[in-house]
Amino acid sequence: MVRAADNIELLCRELSDEHDYLFGIPVDKVSYGVTYCEVCNSRIDEFGFCACGGSPD
């Protein structure tokens, strides 16, 4: 059984990879409140989430 915390950690890791690919910088290197999504122009939170979740479509 997978705990929710493990899911979140895994999700963050996947998002980090996604952001590393999209922005050329890992999420954990991005400062909260400073980085905005290039797709939806929303502020990316500490989990790497924005309004579009990093999905252009």
Residues that bind Zn ion (CB under 5 A): 37, 39-40, 50, 52
Measured CA to CA, the distance from residue 33 to residue 8 in angstroms comes to 20
End-to-end CA separation in angstroms for the chain = 32
Q: How far is the CB of 33 from Zn ion (least distance, A)?
A: 15
Q: What residues have CB less than 8 Å from 38, skipping those under 6 apart? A: 22, 23
Q: Which residue of this chain has its Cβ atom nearest to Zn ion in the complex?
A: 37
Q: Minimum distance from CB of 3 to Zn ion (Å)?
A: 27
Q: Which is nearer to Zn ion, 6 or 25 (CB)?
A: 25
